[in-house]
Chain A
Amino acid sequence: MTGNLLIVLFDGLAFGMLLFVLSVGLSVTLGLMNFVNLGHGAFGMLGGYVALVVTREAGLSFFLALPAAFVGAAVVGIACERTLFRRLYRSGELNQVLFTVGLVFVATAIATFLFGTGQQPIQIPDVLRGSVEIGGLRFGIYRIFLIVVALAVTAALIFGLEFTRFGASVRAAVDNQRVAQGLGIDVDTIFAITFALGCGLAGLGGALAIEIVGLDPTFAFHYLIYVLIVVAVGGLGSIGGSFLAAALLGIADVGGKYFVPELGSFLIYLLMVGVLFWRPLGLFGKR
């Protein structure tokens, strides 16, 4: 029983780390520009399909597919930001929601047109297959890899935000945009770069996700909900909050489906509504 519990905890943590990589970009961009981008999941899906094409059509290694997914999603992200999203920064939540929901509909339809509705498998390298045995319990190597990647991303983000000039500008802009602008920080450019990075991370998350949850055109919407839960519960603009919320959500989801499968996703929705009722700004939200 404790063995099962440990495995569930481990799997949940790995799933949570996946959710973290998928969502952290949205948390930062939402905190920065208050732009409610429900299309974030679509960028994750895009990364997934890029990885698929790179490994399957071009025959390249999965390890090359990951950066390709990042770059692909980042490029499309910045293109959308510069041409479309920026028109909506001042036009209210509802318009942002509707526009980006429209984007999800379009992305889903395009994915269906190009790849069909079926689940797409991905070829991962042999070193990531199988599992290691520790104390009589078997831990999947791919899941260990996921946790390592997520920790590396977290470390890079924290380093980037805390110790670089760019990071300081981003933090200043999140805290108070007008003051930041007054200090001569180019908030517009900062946002474009951050948005690209956020979409890139979502793309990376999408590529990493295929092995665990598969990939089909419903990905954009299905994982959007997880992403939004992480962002809302963690608190806007809080990397630590997102990390913790993602870990909690991953464990609650895997644990819930393992121990009380008949309730499906009911538990996590209940958890989210409960947390937001208790703390509308999320666990670590400041504004």
Chain B
Amino acid sequence: MSTETYALRTENLRKRFGSLEVARDVSITLPRGARHALIGPNGAGKTSLVNLITGQLPPDSGRVLLEGQDITRLNRAARVKAGLARTFQINQLFPALTPIEAITLAVTERKGTAGQFWRSLASHGDAIDEAWGILAQLRLTEVATRPTRVLAYGQQRLLEIGLALATRPKVLLLDEPAAGVPKGESAELFSVIAALPDDISVLFIEHDMSLVFKFAARIIVLVSGGVLLEAEPDVIRTDQRVRDVYLGQAHHG
């Protein structure tokens, strides 16, 4: 298993809703330590692909492999336990919980101690310490004990990533981590992502091309459910097909 050189691989993933094909034979490979971007025009099926990989959508056919292990039939929680975490384009947080509570929750779920109703939460000192560490990494310690719903939007986006990190993922799928964040702050947010340890392989969806070219080592272009091209940023930058796709969209949109 650990002899595999890739972290995540999809093989011929297919999914259609009626006449709409959201995944056409998608086969992608994420090597260990990847910093890959997934780009494509609106409706290209980027979020659907993340949903297929994480198990929110069952594929019509095809396989998902995590370090050689076939996880196609595992449910969402089991995939997370196997080391596959994601964030959401629209915040999926716990509004009434404080960041320290939310992250501690995710940590105890990972450790398998979250079912213990006979021990006080305060006695899970190691989990709280670990949660604190994650908040420190995300520069969220100042607001650790405020309810999530009162946090600034940018802080909520960071917490979104923190929840995924608390599961200690091998592969992290970030669905537009900077969505809705003002331009000035989004670079800061991405610097947090860039600082993630190398043993986490990252695939992120992003619309802002300057961020994509700055932070991605490799780029996958998705168009109407299929992979158009996968290459280095320099290749993508000059590729005529990619240009056409985006220009075409600009014309129609």
CB atoms of A and B under 8 A apart anywhere in the complex? no
Chain B interfacial positions (CB closer than 8 Å to A) = none
Chain A interfacial positions (CB closer than 8 Å to B) = none
